[in-house]
Chains A and B, each alone.
Chain A
Amino acid sequence: MRTQHASEPVVETPAPAPSPVADAIFDVRDVAVFYGPHKAVADITLRLRRNEITALIGPSGCGKSTFIRCLNRMNDLIPSARVDGKVVYHDQDLYARDVDPVQVRKRIGMVFQKPNPFPKSIYDNIAFGPRVMGMKGDMDEIVERALRRGALWDEVKDRLKTNAFGMSGGQQQRLCIARALAIEPDVLLMDEPCSALDPISTGRIEDLMMELKQDYSIVIVTHNMQQAARVSDMTAFFTVELHDEGKFRTGAVVEYGETDKIFTNPDDKRTEDYVTGKFG
């Protein structure tokens, strides 16, 4: 059963189109992920746009997290994982032979599903990234800037030296966002950042995301369709395909386009079924 290639986003500009790269922060071409012999994610081709929020939605187990981890070489951490295809970022294929994953991750940050602060002070959490990369500048300023950008400064400015584990879940996640921003990436990948949080914290993080997209490009995996509809500009809908009588599951992109269109007038019936709640 062949997968359907993602539809290209429609760029509506009156002027002659600028060079194709200018609009996209990631040019993903035929990316597939294998765990051993098993294809976990089928060939994905799409362009993720700069300074926008792109949501990856779909039911559980259809490769959204696996795919987003391709964008910052985090799948390297799994010994049996292999990534085929290209991810072009600033004119460079992230998977080229001579690319250093450590450098990649300094520019493409990630926030995880469960907040994972280090067992250190708030200050040291933020300062870890800059220290490790030898960032120049006054560390106090760097920490303050990051915490302000993460909408956390006012809450913690008087207790920077206290242990991060003492914070609430929502605060910890904002700390993780601030921590990722401290090393000044230009992309923020977020893998279900709110699924472990209460609604109020979720709302605050969504507000934060809308602020951040002016300066960063954001890709977010989410189970929450309403969240995707609220915050994202572009949405990719993933599904899982069963092969070999259901023994193997492969994730694939069914449709990719402007969020409004995906949620009100999608091209593919499977998309429509999902967003209208008929399944998943």
Chain B
Amino acid sequence: MTGAQIAAAVIPRRSSRSAAADRGFRFLMLGAVGAAFVGLAAIVYDFASDGLPVISWDFVTSFPSRVIPESAGIRSAILGTVYLMLICAFLVVPLGVATAVYLEEYADRRRWWNRLIEVNIQNLAAVPSVVYGILGLAFIVRGPLGMGPVLLAGAITLALLVLPVVIIVAREAIRAVPSSIREGSLALGATQWQTVWKQVLPGSIAGIATGVILALSRAIGETAPLLVVGAGVSLRFDPDGLGSSFTALPIQIFAWTQDPNREFVARAAGAIVVLMALLLVMNSIAIWLRNRYEQKW
């Protein structure tokens, strides 16, 4: 007998039952992954096919109309989204990075109040976005700050929403800086803040920037908190300052989607295309930043 025949006699062949189970399971898994693909494709097809024909320079630069779909544009919505994002970034970056620096570099983890802060941030990250809208409504639009449903109120609400995300991301970036760098700096007689400012933050800036951009891209896709805070719909003016009424792309999409007139629904699709394009650009920048500037230790 040949070696192969001996081996075949001694080593049991995999039973056909287990082979079938293997095949069946593979089929299920590929089906699951396929479902995700199909779902994404269907979504993109849906808004792209309805929305792309609607896109034009006029669409992007004119104000929305409540009456005539053909002349309705997203100018106020785009401006609102961009302003919200910028103000939100301005608020969230210093606060988020400062909190992350405190937790990673200064906080003594044995103290209960520092553990409380950590747990608290984890919880805040899990709170539904609509609850942040309620917070904004109760404290910023009405209540103590009482500034009304204005641009700044919307931006602050979004900032509070993404703050936990920025903190978590910044902490990871800071933690990636090896402790040997900190030790080396301190051993040279640098103070703790000098070490943070001149070694730790420069070494983690790429990770922080990437994370901030991703957090902001999440913020500008949010509808619920802005709805609750009182964003306007179909505004026919550019936002003029922090105290101005405002709208945003998701809000405009929300309004047009529910319009009985199919033409307006098509406009919603067009606005979705613009929003998705904006998100694509932001994510690409984040990925490019990470690939180009990430510190390899």
Residues 169 to 183 of chain A near chain B (Cβ within 8 Å): 176, 179-180, 183
**Chain A, 101-143, contact with B by CB distance < 8 Å: what is the 0/1 string?**
0110110011010101111000000001100110000000000
Residues of A within 8 A of B108 (CB): 79
CA distance in complex: A129, B195 (Å): 11
CA distance in complex: A209, B61 (Å): 71
CA distance in complex: A105, B187 (Å): 6
Instruction: Indicate if A225 sits at the interface (CB-CB under 8 A).
Output: no
Contact B190 A132 (CB under 8 A): yes
Contact A180 B110 (CB under 8 A): no
Contact B295 A128 (CB under 8 A): no
CA distance in complex: A94, B231 (Å): 62
Instruction: Indicate if A10 sits at the interface (CB-CB under 8 A).
Output: no
CA distance in complex: A183, B187 (Å): 11
**Chain B, 171-187, contact with A by CB distance < 8 Å: what is the 0/1 string?**
00000001011011111
Q: Which of B110, B186, B297 is packed against the most chain A CB atoms within 10 Å?
A: B186
**Chain A, 75-100, contact with B by CB distance < 8 Å: what is the 0/1 string?**
00101100000000000000000000
CA distance in complex: A179, B185 (Å): 10
Instruction: Indicate if B199 sits at the interface (CB-CB under 8 A).
Output: yes
CA distance in complex: A269, B31 (Å): 73
Q: Which of B108, B109, B189, B203 is packed against the most chain A CB atoms within 10 Å?
A: B189
Instruction: Indicate if A231 sits at the interface (CB-CB under 8 A).
Output: no
Residues of B within 8 A of A118 (CB): 181, 184-185, 199
Contacts A118-B181, A176-B184: A128 and B198 contacting too (C-beta < 8 A)? yes
Contacts A118-B199, A119-B203, A132-B194: A105 and B186 contacting too (C-beta < 8 A)? yes
Residues of B within 8 A of A105 (CB): 186-189
Contact B183 A132 (CB under 8 A): no
Contacts A79-B108, A119-B295, A132-B198: A106 and B183 contacting too (C-beta < 8 A)? no
Contact B188 A132 (CB under 8 A): yes
Instruction: Indicate if A72 sits at the interface (CB-CB under 8 A).
Output: yes
Instruction: Indicate if B261 sits at the interface (CB-CB under 8 A).
Output: no
Contact A114 B186 (CB under 8 A): no
Contact B188 A128 (CB under 8 A): yes
Residues of A within 8 A of B185 (CB): 118, 128
Interface residue tally for chain B (C-beta within 8 Å): 21
Instruction: Indicate if B284 sits at the interface (CB-CB under 8 A).
Output: no
Contacts A79-B110, A119-B203, A128-B198: A112 and B184 contacting too (C-beta < 8 A)? yes
Residues of B within 8 A of A229 (CB): none
Instruction: Indicate if A208 sits at the interface (CB-CB under 8 A).
Output: no
CA distance in complex: A133, B191 (Å): 9
Residues of B within 8 A of A21 (CB): none
Write the chain A residue with the least CB distance to B199.
Answer: A118
Contacts A79-B110, A132-B198: A116 and B190 contacting too (C-beta < 8 A)? no
CA distance in complex: A181, B25 (Å): 64
Contacts A106-B189, A109-B188, A132-B189: A74 and B194 contacting too (C-beta < 8 A)? no
Contact A114 B189 (CB under 8 A): no
Contacts A118-B199, A119-B203, A119-B295: A133 and B189 contacting too (C-beta < 8 A)? yes
Contact B187 A110 (CB under 8 A): yes
Write the chain A residue with the least CB distance to B195.
Answer: A132
A188 CB to closest chain B CB, in angstroms? 11
Residues 26 to 76 of chain B near chain A (Cβ within 8 Å): none
Contact A72 B190 (CB under 8 A): no
Write the chain B residue with the least CB distance to A128.
Answer: B188
Contact A102 B199 (CB under 8 A): no
Residues 55 to 111 of chain B near chain A (Cβ within 8 Å): 108-110
B57 CB to closest chain A CB, in angstroms? 46
Write the chain B residue with the least CB distance to A103.
Answer: B189
Contact B198 A72 (CB under 8 A): no
Q: Which of B110, B198, B295 is packed against the most chain A CB atoms within 10 Å?
A: B198
Contacts A79-B108, A132-B194: A74 and B189 contacting too (C-beta < 8 A)? no
Would you list 24 pairs from A and B whose C-beta atoms are within 8 A, ordered by A residue?
A74-B187, A77-B186, A79-B109, A80-B110, A102-B191, A105-B187, A105-B189, A110-B187, A112-B180, A112-B183, A112-B184, A112-B187, A116-B181, A116-B183, A116-B184, A117-B184, A118-B199, A119-B181, A128-B188, A128-B198, A129-B189, A129-B190, A132-B189, A132-B190
Residues of A within 8 A of B (CB): 72, 74, 77, 79-80, 102-103, 105-106, 109-110, 112, 114, 116-119, 128-129, 132-133, 176, 179-180, 183
Taking A79-B110, A118-B184, A128-B198 as known contacts, 7 extra A-B pairs with beta carbons closer than 8 A to each other, sorted by chain A number, are A102-B189, A102-B191, A105-B188, A116-B181, A128-B190, A176-B184, A180-B187
